[in-house]
Amino acid sequence: MYYQKLDEFQKNFLWGAASAAYQIEGAYQEDGKGLSIWDEYAHQPGNTFKGTTGDVAIDHYHRVEEDVALMAKMGLKAYRFSVAWSRVIPDGEGDVNEAGLAFYRKLITLLKQNQIEPVLTIYHWDLPLALQKKYNGWGSREIIPAFEKYCRTLFSAFKDDVKYWVTFNEQNVFTSMGYRWAQHPPKVTDIKRMYAANHIINLANATAINLFHELVPNGQIGPSFGYGPVYPLTGDPNDVLAAVNANDFNNNWWLDVYCRGEYPYFMLKQLQKAGIAPEITADDQVLLKSAKPDFLGINYYHGGTVQTNRLQKPVKEAEQKDFSATDPYLMQPKADQAQSPEVPMFNSVSNPYLDKTAWGWEIDPVGFRVALRQVYEKYRLPLFVTENGLGAVDELVDGKVDDQYRIDYLAQHVKTMKEAITDGVEMIGYCAWSFSDILSWLNGYKKRYGFVYVNRDDDSQKDLKRIPKASYYWYQQLIAQNGAQI
């Protein structure tokens, strides 16, 4: 750190925490809710850790008052949550389910009564199952009008109460996990289909942003992207080139479209040469150019390190399996996907300078500053950190959870964020992942992120009691002093 003194966080900085509907709500068939692709996927044996599902999750649907009361007591300034599309429009495109809308209206009202800014994510992966069956989900352009209708419903209902909106959560993660690694629904391993679906989602994103600007002129909207900076393993220019390539494949491919309305030409050329590029019409190009996000949501967990492909083959099978199974942010091609243009261009490797979490995710607070700097400098949009946190096994001992390791992790990241602000990065807020313990998509209830412990595990929902952890009181202090102590 080269500053004598860091700039303070702005007065209205949004200290927040985040969640997603499928991971917390439960009540998966209540009050008219339709099924989502995750409801189906999690019920199929072998797809999730110990067969865990979101049927009950942490029962937030029935405990929303208690949960918001805990947020208020903590002094939270913002709460990021997602809406379950199939709760609001059960079949994805037909009649609106008023009871579903009413649940989110209640949540938003409670938040506002407690001066907590709602941050609404429109799509956090739980596509209505009916749309998957009818249109092949994001595989067909026919889904776009359905998404537009869903957005219109939410914009009309909440335009006066919700200022910050997120279109898609981690498009890079859910497209690659769903269409490439077959770890999420629709469980496909086809790179061409991944790029095709991804393009359709880009069109849906642009459509939503344009509609929003028409209907909610005083609000702000943007996508949340899972960003990780890419490092070369060494100063060998071949490794540096590998990092440039990986940055295009892992980051620019999405961010350039969001922020500049066009695909990066180097990578588009590689995909065209490999015969896996999406079909992009002239109308598509006009649409993508027309939609401008107001901010960019950044989810930061870690970056990645790459080297040139010295052996002309991917890194050893065991290591790759480990990467793709536990870490959606590493897009290292597997041996069976050797037709991918990435294979000769870069290989993901471990960074020798970084420690890892119990799940093998690198802990890299400096990378957070690198990320914020890179993205802000390139796109000049205000940044909103919509996720950052540590997944760990927490132990309840004598009714308490002493998660000092989480406090250390968060304190380091908040500090580097403050450094990035001092560097000149414009930031709206920071939402830690997650407010309470919740269902991890593929790691059940074992991998915990919350400030609030939820007394349940993979085998039993127990009493679902909420117990604030040590990190809860630490964050409460941090918010009270607006980060001045960091």
Site residues (vs ligand BGP, CB under 6 A): 20, 169-170, 173, 226, 299, 328, 387, 391, 433, 440-443, 447
Q: Is 110 helix (H, G, I), strand (E, B) or coil?
A: helix
Name the residue number minimizing CB distance to ligand BGP: 440
Question: What minimum distance in Å lies between the beta carbon of 403 and ligand BGP?
Answer: 15
Name the residue with tokens 């471990």: 350
Host H or E run for residue 202: helix 191-215
190, two tokens: 């086809």
Nearer to ligand BGP, 59 or 170 (CB): 170
Question: What minimum distance in Å lies between the beta carbon of 258 and ligand BGP?
Answer: 16
Alpha-carbon distances of 371 from 156, 226, 293, 417, rounded to whole Å: 34, 11, 19, 10
Could you say which of 117, 170, 342, 362 is catalytic?
A: 170
Question: What minimum distance in Å lies between the beta carbon of 180 and ligand BGP?
Answer: 15
Name the residue with tokens 């127990």: 462
> Is 237 buried (19+), middle (13-18) or exposed (0-12) by CB count in 10 A?
exposed
Q: Is 152 helix (H, G, I), strand (E, B) or coil?
A: helix
Question: What minimum distance in Å lies between the beta carbon of 224 and ligand BGP?
Answer: 8
Question: What minimum distance in Å lies between the beta carbon of 386 and ligand BGP?
Answer: 8
Nearer to ligand BGP, 245 or 299 (CB): 299
Q: Would residue 170 show up in a list of annotated catalytic residues for this protein? A: yes
Nearer to ligand BGP, 135 or 368 (CB): 368
Nearer to ligand BGP, 363 or 442 (CB): 442
Report the C-alpha gap between 103 and 203 in whole angstroms.
Answer: 29
Report the C-alpha gap between 104 and 109 in whole angstroms.
Answer: 8
Nearer to ligand BGP, 72 or 405 (CB): 405
Q: What is the CA radius of gyration of the chain?
A: 21
Contact 225/298 with Cβ under 8 angstroms?
A: yes
Nearer to ligand BGP, 20 or 467 (CB): 20
Nearer to ligand BGP, 299 or 308 (CB): 299
Host H or E run for residue 194: helix 191-215
Alpha-carbon distances of 215 from 101, 152, 223, rounded to whole Å: 18, 8, 18
Contact 34/92 with Cβ under 8 angstroms?
A: yes
Contact 185/136 with Cβ under 8 angstroms?
A: no
Report the C-alpha gap between 80 and 111 in whole angstroms.
Answer: 11
Question: How many other C-beta atoms are found inside a 10 Å radius of the C-beta of residue 424?
Answer: 10
Question: What minimum distance in Å lies between the beta carbon of 124 and ligand BGP?
Answer: 6
Question: What minimum distance in Å lies between the beta carbon of 300 and ligand BGP?
Answer: 10
Could you say which of 25, 342, 387, 419 is catalytic?
A: 387
Contact 123/167 with Cβ under 8 angstroms?
A: yes
Contact 62/70 with Cβ under 8 angstroms?
A: no
Name the residue with tokens 């079909």: 279
Nearer to ligand BGP, 170 or 342 (CB): 170
> Residue 186: is the preceding peptide bond cis (ω within 30°)?
yes
Name the residue with tokens 């889904």: 143
* Alpha helices, H only, 226-331: 237-247, 253-260, 265-274, 282-290, 317-326
Question: What minimum distance in Å lies between the beta carbon of 279 and ligand BGP?
Answer: 28
Tell me the catalytic residues: 170, 387
